[in-house]
Amino acid sequence: MKIGFIGLGNMGAPMAANLVKAGHEVTGFDVAGVTVEGAANAGSAAEAASGRDAVITMLPDGAILRAVYADIVPAGTKGAVFIDCSTVDVESARAAHDMAAAQGLLSVDAPVSGGVGGASAGTLTFMAGGSDESFARAAPLFEIMGQKAVHCGDAGAGQSAKICNNMLLGISMIGTCEAFALAEKLGLSAQSLFDVVSTSSGSCWSVNTYCPVPGIGPQSPADNGYKPGFAAELMLKDLKLSQQAAGSVSAQTPMGARATELYNQFVAGEGKGKDFSAMIERLR
């Protein structure tokens, strides 16, 4: 396929590289001038989108997504599939779908889970929203860039799933950090708590896979000085999106609201530039 890829940051660049390795003809564009080996370089986002079978975007926020779509949608080839892998607010995702549909383009909102490591390894999980036809067209590309793609529903459903998942992750990581910090003060070793919780009712991904204590469980950012696998700033962004979404539908998310407050304080202080699991340092 001829693929345009717009947004070659920490996530976008390795995703585009995997498409190149799979034999696709990729043309990339990034405002910072980043390039990907084996991919052609476009002079603008619209140029990257012109004449492509598929156009993939990986952008920082909803406002930028709307602006980029306003630029690239008119350049799109009728029947092409536009796949947005950014994590943005649901309203912006739906607006992007509407712009694409008005031009006769297929579209999918498909935020990802798996971080930079997953992007490089091609093991991302895609949460997709859009029509059955759009998802079917995008699915072969998801198989290259990831290990799983879930069709969550119509336009915006992918973003809704991502926001709910990451709100739960933020809440569970804070609970995990609280438990390990309390155990330390009670004189209980982190290893003992891990051995119990990882096979008991408190078991969760934040404990079993991403333990915030160094030397406990599988290797995690805690074992690397909390160098970000998933930065605290990104967790805060997703939690804010969850609260924006909750407000728009009058949903009660008191734990999500409190998690947002705690990560806001953490990022404003010692947490900026660290992994989100470094929250344990604040709670200690």
Q: Write out pLDDT tens, residues 19-50.
A: 999 999 999 999 999 999 999 999 999 999 99
User: What value does the mean pLDDT take over residues 80-91?
Assistant: 97
| pLDDT the model gives residue 204 | 98
Helix or strand holding residue 124 (H, E): strand 124-129
Nearest-angstrom CA–CA distance, 46 and 129 = 23
Residues of the chain with CATH 1.10.1040.10: 160-282
User: What value does the mean pLDDT take over residues 189-206?
Assistant: 98
3-class DSSP string for 192-226? HHHHHHCCCCCCCHHHHCCCCCCCCCCCCHHHHCC
Nearest-angstrom CA–CA distance, 256 and 133 = 34
Nearest-angstrom CA–CA distance, 197 and 10 = 33
| pLDDT the model gives residue 160 | 97
Residues of the chain with CATH 3.40.50.720: 2-154
Nearest-angstrom CA–CA distance, 39 and 281 = 42
**pLDDT > 90? residue 81:** yes
Average pLDDT, the chain: 97
pTM: 0.92
Residue type, 79: G
Catalytic residue among 162, 237, 240, 272: 162
Query: Which pLDDT band, with edges at 50, 70 and 90, does 261 fall under?
Result: very high
φ, ψ dihedrals at 161, nearest 5°:
-65, -45
User: What value does the mean pLDDT take over residues 193-211?
Assistant: 97
How much of the chain exceeds pLDDT 90, in percent? Answer: 98
Nearest to 261 by CA among 155, 198, 174, 159: 174
Residue scoring higher pLDDT (222 or 117): 222
Given this structure, which CATH class describes domain 160-282? mainly alpha
Query: Which pLDDT band, with edges at 50, 70 and 90, does 115 fall under?
Result: confident
Identify whether the C-beta of residue 137 lies closer than 8 Å to the C-beta of residue 106: yes
2-154 CATH fold: Rossmann fold (3.40.50)
| pLDDT the model gives residue 116 | 87
Q: Would residue 274 show up in a list of annotated catalytic residues for this protein?
A: no
User: What value does the mean pLDDT take over residues 248-276?
Assistant: 97
